[in-house]
């Protein structure tokens, strides 16, 4: 019985390159690495970036607990694509938060991305499009470079059909159901 040996750089023997790549970044590259349109990208947020995320988490925390939701920055897989995201904040039902593996965007209640100088365009375009295609019901973009917040909802294959903003930091932002609360954006 002969065994096929692949030469370096020959990935033809890999049964599913998408799964192999996603496995590698989860088990070899470390916890804070994502794939955006096939590009492996380390995630290393600054303190200012994390402060914006923390302010959102603090404001929605009481309502999340009432609704049985949990928030974190767990992995989101986009099957059939070369995308595997680590959102700045994803809100999911509590029972799904116990999942060891990645979740899908349509299993979230809210996804938040906060831009950094190195990834702003990715959050504004690629992730917005992909989150919509994969059914994330609400996408909040906190654009630190533009100093604005934009809320996207009602996802579809061609993008979100409802867009509120961009609103300058300091403008209260109404989060839709199930949150039904006003988000204070002044501290972002």
Instruction: Name the band, by pLDDT with cuts 50, 70 and 90, for residue 16.
Output: confident
Distances (CA, A) of 39 to 25, 36, 125, 176: 11, 5, 15, 33
Site of tokens 């020959």:
10
Mean predicted confidence (pLDDT) in 27-56? 84
Residue 3, pLDDT score: 46
Q: Which DSSP string corresponds to the chain?
A: -----PPTT--TT-S-HHHHHHHHHHHTS-SSEEEETTEEEE----HHHHHHHHHHHHHHHHHHHHHTEEEE---EEETTTTEEE--SEEEEETTGGG-SS-B-GGG-SEEEEE--TTTHHIIIIIHHHHHHHTT-SEEEEEETTTTEEEEEES--TT--SEEEEEEETTS-EEE-TTT-EEEP-TT-
Q: What whole-number percentage of the chain has pLDDT above 70?
A: 89
Considering the entire predicted model, what is its pTM? 0.88
133: pLDDT strictly greater than 80: yes
What token pair was written down for 180? 């039904």
What token pair was written down for 70? 């949990």
Strand pairing class (138-143; 69-72): unpaired
pLDDT digits (tens, 9 = 90+) for 45-91: 889 999 999 999 999 999 999 999 999 998 999 999 999 999 999 99
Rounded to the nearest integer, the mean pLDDT of the chain is: 89
Out of 30-34, 50-54, 97-101, 123-127, least confident range: 30-34
Instruction: Name the band, by pLDDT with cuts 50, 70 and 90, for residue 33.
Output: confident
CATH topology of domain 45-183: tt1808, chain A (3.90.1570)
Distances (CA, A) of 56 to 14, 37, 41, 171, 173: 41, 27, 24, 14, 11
User: Which residues are CB-contacts of 180 (< 8 A; sequence separation ≥ 6)?
Assistant: 63
Residue 1, pLDDT score: 42
On whether the CB atoms of residues 155 and 133 are closer than 8 A, the answer is yes
Q: What whole-number percentage of the chain has pLDDT above 90?
A: 70
Instruction: Name the band, by pLDDT with cuts 50, 70 and 90, for residue 23.
Output: confident
Out of 15-19, 47-51, 163-167, least confident range: 15-19
Could you give the CA distance from residue 7 to residue 143 in angstroms, rounded to a whole number?
Answer: 45
Instruction: Name the band, by pLDDT with cuts 50, 70 and 90, for residue 30.
Output: low
pLDDT digits (tens, 9 = 90+) for 100-116: 889 999 999 999 999 99
92: pLDDT strictly greater than 70: yes
């Amino acid at each position: 019985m002969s065994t096929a040996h692949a030469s370096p750089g020959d990935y033809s023997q890999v049964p599913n390159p998408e799964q192999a790549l996603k496995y590698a970044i989860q088990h070899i590259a470390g916890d804070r690495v994502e794939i955006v349109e096939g590009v492996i990208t380390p995630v290393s947020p600054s303190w200012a970036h994390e402060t914006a995320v923390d302010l959102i988490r603090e404001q929605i925390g009481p309502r999340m607990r009432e609704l049985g939701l949990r928030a974190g920055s767990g992995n989101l897989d986009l099957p059939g694509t070369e995308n595997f995201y680590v959102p700045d904040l994803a809100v999911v039902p509590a029972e799904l938060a116990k999942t060891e593996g990645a979740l899908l965007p349509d299993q979230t209640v809210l996804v938040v991305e906060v831009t950094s100088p190195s990834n702003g365009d990715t959050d504004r375009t690629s992730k917005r499009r992909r989150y919509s295609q994969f059914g994330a019901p609400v996408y909040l973009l906190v654009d630190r470079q533009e100093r604005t917040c934009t809320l996207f909802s009602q996802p579809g294959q061609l993008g979100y059909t409802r867009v509120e903003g961009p609103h300058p930091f300091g403008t209260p932002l109404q989060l839709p159901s199930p949150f039904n609360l006003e988000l204070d954006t002044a501290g972002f």
